[in-house]
Amino acid sequence: MEIIIASSPAETATIAADFVCRVLARQERPVLGLATGGTPFLTYRELISRYERGEVSFHTARAFLLDDYVDLDTDHPERFREVISRDFTSHVDFPEGVVYSLDGSRSRPEEVAAAYEEAIVAAGGIDLQLLGLGRNGHIGFNEPSSSFASRTRLILLAETTRRDNARFFDYDLESVPRLAMTQGIGTILDARHLVLIANGRAKAAPVAATIEGPLTAMVPASALQLHPRVTVLLDKAAASGLQHTDYYQQAHAATA
């Protein structure tokens, strides 16, 4: 893993945006994997600024969301399809209809999941997948006990996840959905480059378990250890539980 300890969340966003811009510049038809949650917000803001300055364009790109809630009204503001549009995609020049999301309102989750997997393959696979990290070590909505070989599917949200996300629902736990659709860990591992961003002390323990802990289904993000190209972008607080920070910093300086 390439582990980069940045001076601030803003710097993690700048570095993540650099990776996205590089993919956009290099690939003829770039495919981005987009995450929601609070963490990538700064990265999206940075990308919007670069787009507004004419430094980057998304007109040849397509994007796939990682996950979404099930059983929220179609136009609910916390549907991730709405969130990504509000926070990012509607502010830049993605063509119409190329930002794919998991439709959590349909009654047949297996069909939705299979169609999503097929759409990713048909797009040529995901070039760069942005990831946040749950406090319980989840990626996407792959909760602890998710198989490392899991594919896109319906999942029951963990109580910790629902509590963490209650802030987006006026702190009313009852209105946080219980079910979600998520790309599986196997699906995520198929992307060509994974960029995990984590900021803040609350992420220190899951970050340490992800990077330095054993491979275990109880820390879904530990599956990233199996991927050949992973970049982990951390602010100092999120890196504070790591044992080998000196080595990571030297390794990054020596190989950057």
Residue with smaller CB distance to ligand GLP, 67 or 235: 67
Residue with smaller CB distance to ligand GLP, 25 or 156: 156
256 contacts: CB under 8 Å, gap ≥ 6: none
Give catalytic status of residue 199 as yes or no: no
Which parts of the chain fold into alpha helices (H)?
9-26, 41-52, 80-87, 109-122, 159-165, 185-189, 204-212, 245-255
Q: Which helix (H) or strand (E) holds 63?
A: strand 62-65
CB of 113 to ligand GLP, least distance (A): 16
Residue with smaller CB distance to ligand GLP, 200 or 249: 200
Give catalytic status of residue 235 as yes or no: no
- 38-135-235 Cα angle (round to 5): 60
CB of 33 to ligand GLP, least distance (A): 11
Q: DSSP string spanning 35-47?
A: --SSTTHHHHHHH
- Options 87, 127, 143, 235, the catalytic residue: 143
Question: Across-strand partners of 34?
Answer: 65
Strand duo 31-34 + 2-5: pairing: unpaired
How far is it, in rounded angstroms, from Cα 148 to Cα 215?
9
CB of 206 to ligand GLP, least distance (A): 9
CB of 135 to ligand GLP, least distance (A): 7
Give catalytic status of residue 138 as yes or no: yes
CB of 224 to ligand GLP, least distance (A): 13
Residue with smaller CB distance to ligand GLP, 58 or 141: 141
How far is it, in rounded angstroms, from Cα 1 to Cα 7?
19
- Options 46, 67, 117, 190, the catalytic residue: 67
Give catalytic status of residue 252 as yes or no: no
Residue with tokens 């794919």: 100
Q: DSSP string spanning 115-177?
A: HHHHHHHHTT--SEEEE---TTS-BTTB-TT--TT--SEEEEPPHHHHHHHGGGGTT-GGGS-
Residue with smaller CB distance to ligand GLP, 167 or 244: 167
- Options 46, 82, 136, 199, the catalytic residue: 136
How far is it, in rounded angstroms, from Cα 252 to Cα 1?
10
- Options 68, 82, 138, 165, the catalytic residue: 138
Q: Which residues bind ligand GLP (CB under 6 A)?
A: 35-39, 66-67, 132-134, 140-141, 161, 165
Q: Cβ-closest residue to ligand GLP? A: 132
Active site residues: 67, 136, 138, 143
